[in-house]
Chains A and B, each alone.
Chain A
Amino acid sequence: MKKNRWIQVLATKNEIGTLLPLVIMCIVVTLVNPNFISFSNLMDIFRTTSFYLIVGAALTFLLVASDLDLSIGAVTALGGVACMFAMKAGVPAALCIVIGLLAGAAVGIFKAWIIVDCELPALIVTLGIQYAVNGIVSITTKGMSVSGATEGFKVLGQGRIFGSVYITIVIALVIAVVFQLILSYTKYGRSLFAVGGNPETARLAGIPVKKRRREVHILVSVFAALAGILMASRFASAQTTAGSGTELTVMAAVIIGGTSMFGGSGSVVGSILGCLLLAVISNGLVLIRVDSFWQNLIFGVILLISVAIDKYRQKLSSAA
């Protein structure tokens, strides 16, 4: 009985579909270039993954609640820039981080208000916000990076625990674990699945649908800003292009990890694997000396395949 259930769980868990290509990719790259599994290379991959994951974990919540966000990249840049402006003005580092997060939250609140309360489509609204926030970043920085990171602040993005594992990786992992626990084992997580699965059913069951949607929109922006702050710490300065393109990469990673585009299902563990897969591919391509121009093509194809699998899964369960 127990064994039987395990097989069932394995078959229905979306994560397996991501784990398999990940393992294959790792093996292939290692065979071509054994440097792949060197400690320093793996650390590099995990570090890249952790930047994706910090946003990806929050984005998983948003997709589960059947929404999306294309403004992640701009908010990432904004978070870093706001933080570094404060630091340049001599504000203590801890407070600078808070300021960066607040900048993200402000965008998130505005975004949530337009999408949830004014009922405009998230796709267009977040696209507009992406442009607007990018504009704000360019105007305030005149397109220049903002430098002046204090030594203490740099530890966050560059420091290692026990001299080996980057702190960023630990932060991302903690966030991911906490988010996964919330999603599967709390009342809050359950309500997100309900909101994404069928908002009208959820509303009639007394679940505060609008409130939940506002919360996850704000959450994503705050964590996008956090990613930006960590990047600023890593490079000791805030780049205006810091997050450009990440909104698509992270969204792709989350969907590849098995979170449904149609809401109502998903997991952070899947998103970890999705982020890892994309990081391994971009790293691996360099190691096996494939032109990096191929990377976008491969990402695109993988994303299309995952969306197709998602749709197929839906069809399967509705035909039964």
Chain B
Amino acid sequence: MAEYLLEMKNVTKKFPGVLALNKVMLQLKKGEILGVCGENGAGKSTLMKILSGTYPFGTYEGEILYEGKTIQLTDVAVAQKYGIEMIYQEINMVLHSSIAENLYLGNLPGRGQRVDFKSLYAGTKSILERVGIDAKPTDKVAKLNSGQMQMLALMRTYIKNPRILVLDEPTSALTNSEVDQLMGILKELRDKGISCIYISHKMEEIYRICDRVLVLRDGQTIGCHETDQVKEETLIEEMVGRKIENLYPKTKVAIGEEVLRVEHLSVPHPTMKGKNIVDDVTFHLNRGEILGIGGLVGAGRSEILGALFGQLFKGVTKEVYIEGQRTTIKNPADAIKAGLGFVTEERKLNGFIWMLSIRDNMYLASLKELPVKGPFVDVKEENSRSQVMFDRLRIKAPSIHTIVNTLSGGNQQKVVLSKWLVKSPKILFVDEPTKGVDVGAKAEIYSLMGELVESGISIVMVSSDLPELLAISDRVLVVSNGKITGEFDRDEMSEEAVMRAAIK
């Protein structure tokens, strides 16, 4: 019996022009949870794609040992034969099929072409009870929330009797109580002798659940530690490759008069009839302030911003006063005219345009303000203005003509921010501003937000990251079930207080 269930030795993977992995070593014991952390672009996903057979044997150098024997993972099916199962960050479910069919997707019980519905539904029922999802096996998956879907994805692989489970940022769509549940199930699996590789940015989760943690940086193995013998700062230092003086730089700005007041904001729930996802919310924002909005995923936080900005419109009722003036906002164009900007949570979905250059993305919201010469855009002037912004935000890219898709998460987020800096709104909404952004770029984004409030812009920030919310906000509102259940000034804020209000 070999010491390790799985070993990856000197794995090197090259893409045209990029060395994605450079002699990476990974060792996984039987019945342990191994955390893998690193900044975006460190090579975590590439490593896992090799392990899952997505990048097949032969497209990389190095060796993979399974119970001490060399194996060749030539495709996904082979990896699954060895009991290696992946759970991805993005939910992949057949939304309009039943829970049971999704759970046993590609694995339906029954002989030949006949499906054994009896055991299908019985099996599904017991699993649903086990993970505490209140639904029937025949219900459509679309009725579940994202946390429940993620749980279903976990159980889908579980019933295939895996030996190695690989989870890639599994909690990004989960609420705190769902995270607890997920952790519980993972620990149970570990005790049954199943090994897990747990990829995550979140230090708190790594410490909570992982036995050991492997740090990757720039495609190289930097270190591997017993979790209870390594300090968080050490891990962060290893991930970033330099010391970060202050994770949460906060700029002191004098708070001025009221710039935005929202009264009686209600947004109907997208799927449940007769229920409001935002229910009669009233709040205000002052000049130079960063107003944090906390709460659980699905509490209605993003919808508050979306409805104010005119992204959501159907059935929305609201009274909005900007600098004391009653303002009607029916669509994003109205909102921008009124001096609002919105950095959305899903930047890939609606924040940037991937095939366009950094420069073109910067000017998306300010096409009307493009410098012109006669009927044409003054490209020279446009380039030089973009270059100034590019330098100011320290965007890491070859030039302003680089396609946004090729940038890392942090740099993409900077491009999205720059889109609004070019426009220079009075009020900026930011929704999960550091989601999928690596530690180094996070601090830069916070200081940038500081610069913005210094220049007189006011910010409303939705965040699920409690340390971030508390460190950056001047005032925090907590939303639960569509209502504001807590408001805290800087001296009253604490993680406990926010959590308590969030589960009210």
Contact = CB atoms under 8 A, between A and B. Distances in A.
Interface of A: 181, 185-187, 190-191, 193-194, 197-198, 200-208, 260, 264-265, 314, 317-320
Contacts of B352: 198, 201
Interface in B347-374: 349-356, 360, 363-365, 367-368, 370, 372
B350 A185 contact: no
B309 interface: yes
Nearest to A262: B355
B384 to A, nearest CB: 16
29 contacts: A185-B379, A187-B372, A187-B377, A190-B370, A193-B360, A194-B356, A194-B364, A197-B356, A198-B352, A198-B353, A200-B349, A201-B353, A202-B353, A203-B331, A204-B311, A204-B350, A205-B419, A206-B332, A206-B336, A207-B333, A207-B364, A260-B355, A317-B354, A317-B355, A319-B15, A320-B16, A320-B17, A320-B18, A320-B403
A315 B309 CA distance: 34
B355 A197 contact: yes
B350 A317 contact: no
A187 B368 contact: yes
A8 to B, nearest CB: 8
Contacts of A206: 332-333, 335-337, 365
A207 B360 contact: no
Given A181-B376, A205-B419, A187 B353 contact: no
A198 B350 contact: yes
B406 interface: yes
B344 interface: yes
B364 A317 contact: no
Given A186-B376, A317-B354, 17 more contacts: A187-B367, A191-B367, A194-B353, A198-B350, A200-B349, A200-B350, A201-B349, A201-B350, A201-B353, A204-B342, A205-B419, A206-B333, A206-B337, A264-B356, A317-B355, A318-B405, A319-B15
B375 interface: yes
B369 to A, nearest CB: 9
B364 A201 contact: yes
Contacts of A201: 349-353, 364
Contacts of A317: 354-355, 403, 405-406
Nearest to B353: A197
A23 B462 CA distance: 57
Contact of B367 (A190, A197, A260, A319): A190
Contacts of B351: 201
Contacts of B368: 187
A197 B360 CA distance: 11
Q: Which residue of A191, A201, A260 has the most chain B CB atoms within 10 A of its CB atom?
A: A201
Interface centre among B332, B336, B344 (most CB of A within 10 A): B332
Interface in B361-410: 363-365, 367-368, 370, 372, 375-377, 379, 403, 405-406
A265 B379 contact: no
Contact of B356 (A181, A193, A208, A319): A193
Nearest 10 A-B pairs (CB), nearest first?
A197-B353, A205-B365, A206-B336, A205-B364, A200-B350, A185-B376, A206-B333, A198-B353, A320-B406, A187-B367
B353 A264 contact: yes
Contacts of B332: 203-206
B336 A190 contact: no
B405 A320 contact: yes
B390 to A, nearest CB: 16
A260 B360 CA distance: 17
Interface in B397-434: 403, 405-406, 419
Interface in B302-353: 309, 311, 331-333, 335-337, 342, 344, 349-353
Contact of A198 (B311, B336, B354, B376): B354
Given A198-B350, A318-B354, A319-B15, A204 B377 contact: no
B54 to A, nearest CB: 13
Contacts of B342: 204
A202 B364 contact: yes
Contacts of A319: 15
Contacts of A191: 367
A204 B179 CA distance: 32
Contact of A186 (B15, B16, B375): B375
B406 A185 contact: no
Contacts of A194: 353, 356, 360, 364, 367
Contact of B377 (A185, A193, A197, A264): A185
Contacts of A185: 376-377, 379
Contact of A197 (B336, B354, B406): B354
B379 to A, nearest CB: 7
B433 to A, nearest CB: 16
A56 to B, nearest CB: 21
A197 B342 CA distance: 19
A7 to B, nearest CB: 14
Contacts of B336: 205-206
A268 to B, nearest CB: 15
A193 B16 CA distance: 28
